[in-house]
Each structure stands twice: as structure tokens, then as C-alpha cells.
Amino acid sequence: MVRKGSPEISIAPARREALRRRLLAWYSQARRELPWRATRDPYRIWVAEIMLQQTRVAAVLPYYERFLERFPDPASLAAAPLEEVLAAWAGLGYYSRARNLHQAARRIASAGAFPSDYASLRALPGVGAYTAAAVASIAFGLPYAVVDGNVLRVLARLSADSGDIGAATTRRRLQAVAQQLLDRRRPGEFNQALMELGATVCLPRRPACAACPLERLCEARRRGHETELPRKRRPGAPTRITKTLLLIERGGRILLRKRHAGRLAGFWELPEAGELPGARLVRQCGEFRHAITSHDYRLRVVEADPAQVPDGFRWIPRARLPTLPLATTARKALALCAHAAQARTSEKVSRQSPC
């Protein structure tokens, strides 16, 4: 087994070749048909790769089609106002991805062509080593190995690497393994096959080794260590935060505030209780939880009537809300209050109706 701090792993050429052959044969049979796999258009592949960062395939699918319908190429994305791009992204989370996509589209549009080499792709805003390698290999057939969380897991098991998967040294070692294994004749397909194996067979808790095309080549499987790897240092417990959001409505208009800085810059939010001192709390809608990286929010939502409205807030007609980039917490709070109002109405109706 490879230990933390061990030098690079070397894989014998015959083993590499066998692994490529089995993996690609399996992929041609077992792959899921996904819209970004039916194209070599670098723009479409790039949009998919950005959306798929930290987001599940099932969550991305409806956004992907809608986004491409609205922004079918870099020029249309570059020409759109940022607010419209954020509105199309609202609900997918990690909004810096949408801002970077928009900024990068402007660069591509002004350059007049999509970058077609690794260095130029990597220079785009929001494009890291992973995305540059994915677009370079899938769209342009360039020999760059893609290493995401799924691939790291597969490689740690294949080579029985017991290093902490979160440590830079382990990642560098596995990146080198990925580059050795890469099929240079079909780099895009090979990368997608390894990612697919991690997403559908070599699962985090229960790897389906009996159905795995690499079972006979897998060192962790040979040693019976497949469920123990990869090793990961436990993160600390998330920070718990409790807040109260206020739903304030007058004549069909909702009081909102636009964020101008930070992760949610450009998004509209409901006021928090502390921002409107003296507001009268009218009725509770309910509460919900919202987790972001290491923070676990418990959000109480209350219909309220403010004593006064400080600068920085705006009254937005309800009808405009679907076209605005609303923060996820605001969307969840509005849905909660709508649900509570509906429940009150049904209760009233059932009380009034004769038995």
C-alpha cells in the first residue's frame, strides 16, 4: 500500500494498457447519455463542466438546457446583462461560477474565437486545472488528465494509496497516476470513462466491485481495502447560525435588498430582523435549514411590518421576482410563506363549510 509522503507511483506499461482497454470498452456500453456528451462544441462542454462543479448531474440537467437555449454561444452570453445570467443560474448555487462564466464569455467574444489550448483555457476566469483539462481533452482531444473527486477516489483505490485525500501531496501523486494512465489516443473519452466509473460504480461507501471492469487490476480490491480507501481527515463540525428573515409586503410589492459584495453579489435577499429594528412581527411562516460549506443556517421566516425602511432596500413588485436573481434563502422563504398562507386559507374554508 502507498503511504503518505511516498514518491510517485509507477504503473507498468502492460497494466496501463489493460486498464485503458477495459475501461473504454466498459464506457462504450455503460455510459449515461447526457446532453454534453453528444457534442464536441467547446462552449457547450465548458458550460457543462462549470455547472457540474460541486453540483449533481440530476440538478444540472434542467439548468443546462435552459441556459443554452437562452445563451446558445459565447457572444449571446457576453451580450447579456449580468443580472440576466445570474437569474438563469439562480438555484444552482456557487454564484461566482456564473459571474466568471459571463466575464470569460466577454473575453472570448472580444478575442473572436474559443481558446483551443490548455494554457489559454486555464487563463479564463473561473477555469482551474480540472476544467481546462476537461475542455482541452473532450473538445480538442488534447492529452490532459482530468482529476475530480470521483477520479481521485478511483485512483486511490486502484493504487491502494492510503494518503489523506485532502492533502496536496496525495493529490499531486494521484494526478501523476492519472497522467500515466491517460489514453493519449482518446483522452476525452478516457477522462469521461474514469469520471463515470467513479460516479456510477466505484461509489464512496459501497463500491460495486463485482460489476467493475477494473476489478482484476485494482490493488485495494486485491487487498480487501476498497471500503477503507480513500482516507480522509474528518472536517470540523459546521458552525450553526440562527437568523430571522422578514417578509414585508405592501400592495403586491416585496421589500428586498441587493447584495453588492461577497459570494452573493448581484443577488436579492429578504431583510434580516436585525436590519429593521422596531419592525412589528405579524405572523410566523415557519423555518428551514440552509447549509453552505462549513455553515449550517437555521432560518426563521416571519411576516412583518417595519417601523421605517432604511436606505438600501427597494420595493419590488411580486410579478418581477421570477426575472430577478433571488438568493436561495429568499426563494425558500417566499415559498414557505406562500405555503403557510395556503394552509391558512384551506383551514378557514374547511371551518366555514357545513359538515
State the residues that interact with ligand SF4 by CB under 6 A.
154, 157-158, 201-202, 207-209, 212, 214-215, 218, 220-221, 226
How many Å apart are CA 155 and CA 299, to the nearest integer? 40
Q: How far is the CB of 23 from ligand SF4 (least distance, A)?
A: 10
**Catalytic site includes residue 49:** yes
Q: 113 CB contacts (<8 Å, ≥6 apart)?
A: none
Q: How far is the CB of 226 from ligand SF4 (least distance, A)?
A: 4
Is there a cis peptide before residue 35, judged by omega within 30 degrees of 0? Answer: no
Are residues 288 and 299 in contact, defined by beta-carbon separation less than 8 angstroms?
Answer: yes
| CB atoms near residue 56 (< 10 Å) | 9
Instruction: Name the residue nearer to ligand SF4 (CB basis): 92 or 218.
Output: 218
Out of 17, 33, 49, 249, the active site residue is 49
Are residues 165 and 232 in contact, defined by beta-carbon separation less than 8 angstroms?
Answer: yes
Instruction: Name the residue nearer to ligand SF4 (CB basis): 147 or 218.
Output: 218
Instruction: Name the residue nearer to ligand SF4 (CB basis): 139 or 229.
Output: 229
Q: How far is the CB of 48 from ligand SF4 (least distance, A)?
A: 25
Q: How far is the CB of 204 from ligand SF4 (least distance, A)?
A: 10
Q: How far is the CB of 178 from ligand SF4 (least distance, A)?
A: 13
What are the residue ranges of helices labelled H in 141-244?
149-158, 168-181, 187-200, 219-223
How many Å apart are CA 111 and CA 132, to the nearest integer? 18
Q: How far is the CB of 233 from ligand SF4 (least distance, A)?
A: 21
Long-range Cβ contacts of 260-263 (<8 Å, 24+ apart): 263/95, 263/96
How many Å apart are CA 130 and CA 108, to the nearest integer? 19
Q: 74 CB contacts (<8 Å, ≥6 apart)?
A: 43, 105, 108, 109, 114
How many Å apart are CA 103 and CA 109, to the nearest integer? 10
Instruction: Name the residue nearer to ligand SF4 (CB basis): 49 or 226.
Output: 226
Instruction: Name the residue nearer to ligand SF4 (CB basis): 223 or 280.
Output: 223
Instruction: Name the residue nearer to ligand SF4 (CB basis): 181 or 212.
Output: 212
Ramachandran region, residue 251 (left: φ > 0; alpha: ψ -120 to 50; beta: rest): left
Instruction: Name the residue nearer to ligand SF4 (CB basis): 159 or 175.
Output: 159
Phi, psi of 224 (to 5 degrees): 75, 25
The set of cell numbers assigned to 158 is 486502484
The DSSP-derived string for 125-152 is TT--HHHHHHHHHHHH--------HHHH
Q: How far is the CB of 176 from ligand SF4 (least distance, A)?
A: 18
Establish how many alpha carbons lie within 13 A of residue 83's alpha carbon, considering only the half-sphere containing its beta carbon. Answer: 10
Element (H, E) at 263: none
Element (H, E) at 249: strand 249-250
How many Å apart are CA 88 and CA 325, to the nearest integer? 8
Residues annotated catalytic, as ranges:
49
